[in-house]
Amino acid sequence: MNQEKALVVFSGGQDSTTCLLWAKKEFKEVETVTFNYGQRHVAELDCAKEIAGDLKVHHHVLDMSLLNQLAPSALTRNDEAITHEEGELPSTFVPGRNLLFLSFAGVLAKQIGAKHIITGVCETDFSGYPDCRDIFVKSLNVSLNLSMDEQFVIHTPLMWINKAQTWEMADRLGSLKYIRENTLTCYNGVIGDGCGDCPACELRQKGLNEYLQSKKGGDE
């Protein structure tokens, strides 16, 4: 086990909770940070707080409400519908959001003495966010190191795996049931299996079905 400290960028969703469980296996000391940017559902923050408590990790909440000011989107304003046209960025898109989150996480990591930063971004189910791509994360890693004269290492355990494989990872970490029941991915703020109708629920359920199907096949 790595004896150094790690900071997990954590939203209370399936991906970042899987990353948190992964980090707890890999690093001796783990803390988490959640960004409060006026999410559509306060449930998201409560959910993150709850999970951090369950997993006994220190939980930082940083106020990022300035994002609201920079790019009002469907995630932060109730009067805008969530739409996602084929080939276009979803209306939840906030340009540069991950750039900002990871940069602030870097500053916090410096303050708490964490060398490792973990984020659940993924290029496989690439939804059009350029600052979630591997090349960007590597580039920011260099910039953060230069900006603070540090040797941070940004880890992206989900970068090259799909949703089904993320469920498989949760299972291998012994936490499939926990993640299925306690994390929040749903745009309508329903914890666990969610509302079942929104794009986030559809993606999550599709991945879960795929994994459970392949597991069943493997057992036989």
Using the rule CB under 5 A, is 176 a contact of Zn ion? no
Q: Which is nearer to Zn ion, 57 or 179 (CB)?
A: 179
Using the rule CB under 5 A, is 206 a contact of Zn ion? no
Tell me which residues in 34-53 interact with Zn ion (CB under 5 A): none
* Segment contacting Zn ion by CB under 5 A, of 20-28, 51-59, 67-75, 201-209: 201-209
Sequence-distant (6+) residues with CB within 8 A of 196 are: 202, 205
* Amino acid at position 111, single letter: Q
Burial class (CB in 10 A: 0-12, 13-18, 19+), 219: exposed
Interface residue with Zn ion, options 12, 90, 194, 207 (CB under 5 A): 194
Interface residue with Zn ion, options 19, 198, 204, 207 (CB under 5 A): 198
Q: Which helix (H) or strand (E) holds 177?
A: helix 176-182
Sequence-distant (6+) residues with CB within 8 A of 220 are: none
How many residues make contact with Zn ion (CB under 5 A)? 6
Question: What residue ranges bind Zn ion (CB under 5 A)?
Answer: 186, 188, 194-195, 198, 201
